[in-house]
Amino acid sequence: NAGVTQTPKFQVLKTGQSMTLQCAQDMNHEYMSWYRQDPGMGLRLIHYSVGAGITDQGEVPNGYNVSRSTTEDFPLRLLSAAPSQTSVYFCASSYSLGGDVNSPLHFGNGTRLTVT
Amino acid sequence: GNSVTQMEGPVTLSEEAFLTINCTYTATGYPSLFWYVQYPGEGLQLLLKATKADDKGSNKGFEATYRKETTSFHLEKGSVQVSDSAVYFCAHATNTGNQFYFGTGTSLTVIP
């Protein structure tokens, strides 16, 4: 059981380049989300999805796009990378909403992105 | 608005010392409260949670009590081990569960 798989683990981009961070889960979770982790800022929610075909914005959505065409996959797209997007990105999923103890957030191991 | 404030780190303790990491929250209504732990190079893992006032969450010797009157959820452990070295995050979920709000994390190092 792989859980939540994020690729790539590391990425360096130049300003203005685009890329997609991949996230896949094999637990049949309805809820998926993307966070960025910055020093002194904790984790901040970028976008989330409560099921295939449904996405919504979190706390810091600007500069990022998402789509959810299948239950398993939730890619995060940077259309024109900026140095301010240098961060560690985490994908997380859960079976249901509400953060139930039987349905906690499951995190991937993160993608470390550097934009120069 | 929604937010979580937890004590600044880093925290360094000797093995078998008592641990407290303070956490307070601001939220609408009565959110569920969580502590997550992040080991080096890994994603976050749920450590414990509480869903209503006066609930005590516990796991692996860690405990935290949901205090509605002080809007707090402090993490405690009576005797830490070297293997507890990690970053600890306090978090709460909105009433709908759609959004989680995390604190900035507290780095703990336990020395033998």
Instruction: Enumerate long-range contacts of A60-69, CB under 8 Å, 24 or more apart.
Output: A60/A36, A64/A34, A66/A34, A68/A32
The one-letter amino acid code at A18 reads S
Q: State pLDDT tens for residues A26-36.
A: 999 999 999 99
Distance (Å, rounded) from C-alpha A114 to C-alpha A28?
A: 31
DSSP string, chain A: ---EEEE-SEEEE-TT--EEEEEEESS--SEEEEEEEETTTEEEEEEEEEETTEEEE-S--TTEEE--SSSSB--EEESS--GGG-EEEEEEEESSSTT-TTS--EE---EEEEE-
Residue B97, pLDDT above cutoff 80: no
Token pair of B48 as six digits: 């414990």
Q: State pLDDT tens for residues A36-49.
A: 999 888 899 999 99
Question: What's the confidence (pLDDT) of residue B93?
Answer: 82
Pairing of β B3-6 and β A111-115: unpaired
B26 bridge partner residues: B3
Residue B41: which region, alpha, beta or left (left: phi > 0; alpha: psi -120 to 50)? Answer: left
Pairing of β B3-6 and β B23-26: antiparallel
Distance (Å, rounded) from C-alpha A78 to C-alpha A64?
A: 5
Q: How far is A28 from chain B (nearest CA, A)?
A: 17
Question: What's the confidence (pLDDT) of residue B26?
Answer: 92
The one-letter amino acid code at B44 reads L
Residues 60-89, chain A, touching B (beta carbon < 8 A)? none
Q: State pLDDT tens for residues B4-40.
A: 999 888 999 999 999 999 999 998 777 889 999 999 8
Token pair of B38 as six digits: 């992040």
Token pair of B5 as six digits: 């404030």
Q: Please say whether the dihedral angle defined by the alpha carbons of residues B26, B28, B29 and B35, taken in this order, is positive or negative.
A: negative
Interchain pair B102, A99: CB under 8 A? no
Interchain pair B93, A99: CB under 8 A? yes
Interchain pair A99, B41: CB under 8 A? no
Distance (Å, rounded) from C-alpha A45 to C-alpha B4?
A: 13
> Which of B99, B106, B107 is the best mutation test for A, with the most CBs of A within 10 A?
B99
Q: State pLDDT tens for residues B33-63.
A: 999 999 988 889 999 999 889 999 999 999 9
Q: State pLDDT tens for residues A57-111.
A: 998 999 999 999 999 999 999 999 999 999 999 999 988 765 554 567 889 999 9
Least Cα distance to A38 among A99, A113, A94, A107 occurs for A113
Residues 10-29, chain A, touching B (beta carbon < 8 A)? none
